[in-house]
Chains A and B, each alone.
Chain A
Amino acid sequence: MSTGRKGRRDLWLILGLLLIGGAALGLTLLFRSPGDWVVVEVDGEIFGRYPLDENTSIRIETGADGYNVLKIADGYASVTEASCPDKLCVRQHKISRSDETIVCLPNRVVVSVVSERE
């Protein structure tokens, strides 16, 4: 690889992007308050709203054969089952703080945590 002027510019670009990403990540983490509600949206419309402190399991039907299973346990929400082939939503971390989300792209399901104020 060329380590000349271009190489140094590359480095600045990389550092700049990492800094922007890191700062944005830090800010979103910093301003997150503990959430109170789990809001499920399907196709941009609100499917349901559930308190985070009640342990439940909800099956979200998304037309045709699509479904996701949302589990709320011990103040954490997670998707435990999904009809989609890649299962990305199932592998995402469980969420508990406001503005955290779990997204299932194929079924257009967005599970997000909101705080009391909203």
Chain B
Amino acid sequence: MGKNKKISVKQNPQTLAMLGLCTAAAMILSYVESFIPSVIPGLKIGLPNVVIVFVLYRAGWPSAAAVSLVRVVLTAILFGSVMSLAYGLAGAVLSLIVMTLLRRLHFFSVVGVSVAGGVAHNAAQILVAAAVMQTTQIVYYLPVLIIGGTIAGILIGIAGGVLLSRFPETISAKRR
């Protein structure tokens, strides 16, 4: 931000290592999450998003996009299916776009940004599901998913905020 130089992976192997660690952490969180039973079918907290929010704020959207993409593809290959890849990608892409834009606006704090990301994630998945199954019936889930995405976003935002304030900045990269 401001005068600070953008940290690029090429210039800084430390950043590359950090992003690798973050990707691994996000994958572990996806795996852990698969053991948490959901109250409403299809509704998840989105634990890996803690990492995505962290990377987005620390290293910017290109790094967050890279971590998110690798995470979704690898998790789908390891634990999921082609379908879960489609849903995961749609959710990850839209939520990252929304979070990046809102972060640029400097209008909300981490919690607000993450809430918007959570709702965008769920909305994208509903849209893909409606397109894949050629049905509009599924849109009736949207209200539940908006509420669920909001609550999940609050939790993720708080966790992401704690992570950002506790992790020394030197660990992510030398910014100045």
Residues of A participating in the B interface, judged by any CB pair closer than 8 Å: 1-2, 6-7, 9-10, 13-14, 17-18, 20-25, 28, 41, 43-44, 88-89, 91-92, 99-101, 103, 105-106, 108, 110, 112
Contacts and interface: CB of A to CB of B under 8 A. Distances in A.
Q: Is the interface of B mostly helix, strand, loop or mixed?
A: helix
A10 B146 contact: no
Given A14-B112, A103-B138, A112-B137, 9 more contacts: A6-B106, A7-B109, A21-B143, A25-B143, A41-B135, A103-B42, A103-B137, A108-B133, A110-B137
Contacts of B141: 101, 103
A10 B112 contact: yes
A91 B138 CA distance: 16
Contacts, number: 99
Contact of B135 (A20, A23, A44): A44
A17 B158 contact: no
Nearest to B37: A91
Q: Is the interface of A mostly helix, strand, loop or mixed?
A: helix
Contacts of B135: 41, 44, 110
Nearest to A99: B140
A10 B108 contact: yes
Contact of B146 (A24, A88, A99): A24
B7 interface: no
Contacts of A92: 41
A21 B144 contact: yes
B147 A14 contact: no
23 contacts: A1-B161, A6-B109, A9-B112, A10-B108, A10-B115, A13-B108, A13-B116, A21-B143, A21-B144, A21-B146, A22-B143, A22-B147, A41-B135, A44-B134, A44-B135, A89-B41, A101-B138, A101-B141, A103-B138, A105-B132, A110-B135, A110-B137, A112-B137
A41 B136 CA distance: 12
Given A9-B108, A10-B111, A92-B41, A24 B129 contact: no
A17 B143 contact: no
